């Protein structure tokens, strides 16, 4: 469900804006000056929509349109080819996404299945409020680059640009360019296609540029930040499994999870996934440690069928199981409640007693924590501190800690700079790519509508002579594309907010 506080805040903000606008427009003394002030600044207000338009960037667009005409011709021709391919690809992608959504809706476990390439984003629901700034800035940047492509392509094709603007619809920012329609209708379909495809083409190029920057980030930050030495802790959720006097702290460098080395965030994630889906790791301890002085617990079954032997809810003891030989052919599983930190500190991991015998000169035995089915005991290595001992569901440890691959070489460097750059680039890749896909869909009111109309005029004019028939073909194609996009948005929104 959408958080009530977010809805109240958004509705209250828009109600205040709309009420102030209504009062000023209805005021006898302030109406003329207020409307003149709005017009002079290019502002337009309507329910849940604020729009600003200016001509101050027209010279910049004209300058860009005069840079190396031959190179621009090839650039926008490449955009034309990409736009046509993207229009077909977007339809295939939406059909695939719709199939995945329906499959998830009809299953009892919505997590089963392939992850969706496209997903409806609702701030405060599937977008953390702590990352709203990344989202809105990346979305606005993607929109501005999109419209820059349209403006430069239009001026290159001798179509006048009336102005550039930005808007906010509910909470989503965007940008637009106002083209002179008469000029646009006079040019050829191929020229129109170059203009209409320029937006999605520039979004695609921005997506590639952000990906390249993300890939080269370790090299660019190499003089200031080191990578490959471990995963640096940048945040620990309070009262989580990783918090506490012997837990993780901001600035710690995690280098291992059990016997799985951690050289970065990717290793951290893969190691946790590996530990969650493999049997619990055992530890080699001397046989002398299993003397009766450690108070062998009387084992009892938990509700899930697993065994426990520590009945005093101790925070320092844990139930361990091991195989005890009763003779040459008899082997019996025993349980002992033992002080966990003392038992596992500095010990080698194992799966059988043979693993211990191969690496130890003293008589050792492999003991395994006796835990509930999905619970794991994990030693987190973060030198020079002692191991952090975690008992719980491995994904909980992943959600409790934020990490980065970048370790500052100097003390004055901020830990969050690489995190900011990395996160922002990921948002630019996602949102600019999404804009390229969505705007390519042959749908009413999107770039895909004009791309499809121009494409039909360029390809069917000699085959279907009657213009009305070509328009009818385009109408039905647009109707199908609009229905496909609407179904994806509606079902995706329901999946995000209702489930």
Q: Which residues are catalytic?
A: 147
3-class DSSP state for residue 302? coil
Question: Long-range contact list for 344-347, CB < 8 A, 24+ apart?
Answer: 344/283, 344/285, 344/379, 344/387, 344/389, 345/386, 345/387, 347/283, 347/284, 347/285
CA–CA gap between residue 444 and residue 450 (Å, rounded): 9
Identify the sign of the CA torsion 479, 481, 484, 490.
Answer: negative
Instruction: Answer whether 318's CB lies under 8 Å from 369's CB.
Output: yes
* Closest by Cα among 324, 320, 332 to 294: 320
CA–CA gap between residue 61 and residue 166 (Å, rounded): 16
Q: Which residue shows structure tokens 């005409």?
A: 69
- Entry field: residues in the chain: 499
3-class DSSP state for residue 202? helix
For the chain, state the CA radius of gyration.
31
CA–CA gap between residue 318 and residue 304 (Å, rounded): 18
3-class DSSP state for residue 291? coil
3-class DSSP state for residue 393? coil
* Closest by Cα among 268, 260, 258 to 231: 268
- The helix (H) or strand (E) run that includes residue 381 is strand 376-381
Instruction: Answer whether 218's CB lies under 8 Å from 103's CB.
Output: no
Take residue 61 and report the two structure tokens written for it: 């667009």
- Calculate the alpha carbon distances from 29 to 22, 25, 46 in Å: 14, 10, 22
Take residue 376 and report the two structure tokens written for it: 């794991």
* Closest by Cα among 57, 90, 87 to 193: 87
Take residue 339 and report the two structure tokens written for it: 């002080």
Residue 97, preceding peptide bond in cis (omega within 30° of 0): no
CA–CA gap between residue 321 and residue 301 (Å, rounded): 13
Q: What is the DSSP letter of 110?
A: T
Take residue 430 and report the two structure tokens written for it: 């996602």
């Amino acid at each position: 469900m959408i958080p009530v506080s977010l809805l109240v805040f958004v509705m209250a903000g828009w109600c205040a804006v709309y009420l102030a606008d209504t009062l000023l427009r209805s005021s006898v003394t302030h109406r003329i000056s207020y409307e003149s002030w709005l017009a002079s600044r290019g502002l337009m207000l309507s329910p849940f929509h604020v729009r600003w338009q200016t001509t101050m960037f027209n010279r910049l667009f004209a300058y860009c349109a005069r840079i190396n005409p031959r190179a621009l011709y090839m650039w926008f021709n490449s955009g034309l080819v990409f736009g046509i391919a993207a229009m077909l690809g977007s339809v295939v992608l939406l059909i695939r996404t719709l199939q995945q959504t329906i499959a998830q809706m009809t299953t009892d476990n919505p997590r089963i299945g392939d992850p969706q390439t496209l997903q409806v984003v609702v701030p405060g629901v599937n977008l953390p409020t702590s990352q709203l700034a990344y989202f809105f800035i990346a979305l606005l940047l993607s929109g501005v680059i999109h419209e820059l492509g349209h403006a430069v392509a239009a001026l290159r094709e001798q179509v006048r640009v009336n102005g550039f603007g930005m808007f906010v619809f509910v909470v989503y920012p965007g940008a637009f360019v106002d083209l002179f329609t008469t000029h646009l209708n006079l040019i050829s379909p191929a020229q129109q296609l170059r203009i209409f495809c320029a937006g999605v083409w520039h979004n695609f190029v921005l997506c590639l540029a952000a990906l390249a920057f993300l890939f080269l980030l370790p090299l660019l930050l190499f003089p200031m930040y080191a990578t490959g030495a471990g995963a640096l802790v940048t945040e620990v959720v309070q009262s989580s499994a990783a918090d506490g006097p012997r837990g993780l702290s901001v600035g710690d460098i995690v280098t291992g999870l059990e016997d799985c080395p951690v050289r970065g965030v990717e290793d951290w994630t893969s190691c946790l996934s590996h530990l969650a889906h493999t049997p619990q790791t055992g530890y080699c301890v001397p046989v002398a440690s299993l003397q009766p002085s450690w108070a062998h617990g009387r084992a009892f079954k938990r509700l899930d069928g697993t065994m426990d032997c520590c009945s005093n809810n101790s925070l320092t003891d844990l139930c361990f199981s091991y195989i005890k030989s009763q003779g040459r052919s008899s082997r019996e599983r025993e349980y002992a409640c033992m002080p966990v930190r003392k038992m596992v500190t500095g010990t080698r991991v194992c799966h059988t007693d043979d693993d211990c015998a191969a690496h130890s000169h003293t008589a050792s035995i492999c003991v395994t924590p006796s835990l509930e089915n999905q619970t794991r005991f994990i030693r987190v290595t973060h030198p020079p501190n002692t191991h952090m001992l975690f008992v719980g569901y491995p994904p909980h440890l992943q959600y409790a800690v934020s990490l980065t691959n970048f370790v500052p070489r100097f003390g004055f460097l901020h830990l969050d700079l690489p995190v900011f750059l990395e996160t922002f680039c990921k948002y630019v890749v996602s949102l600019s790519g999404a804009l390229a896909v969505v705007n390519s869909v042959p749908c009413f009111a999107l770039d895909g509508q004009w791309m499809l109309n121009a494409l039909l005029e360029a390809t069917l004019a000699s085959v279907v002579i009657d213009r009305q028939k070509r328009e009818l073909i385009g109408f039905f194609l647009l109707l199908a594309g609009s229905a496909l996009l609407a179904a994806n948005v509606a079902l995706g929104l329901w999946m995000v907010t209702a489930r």
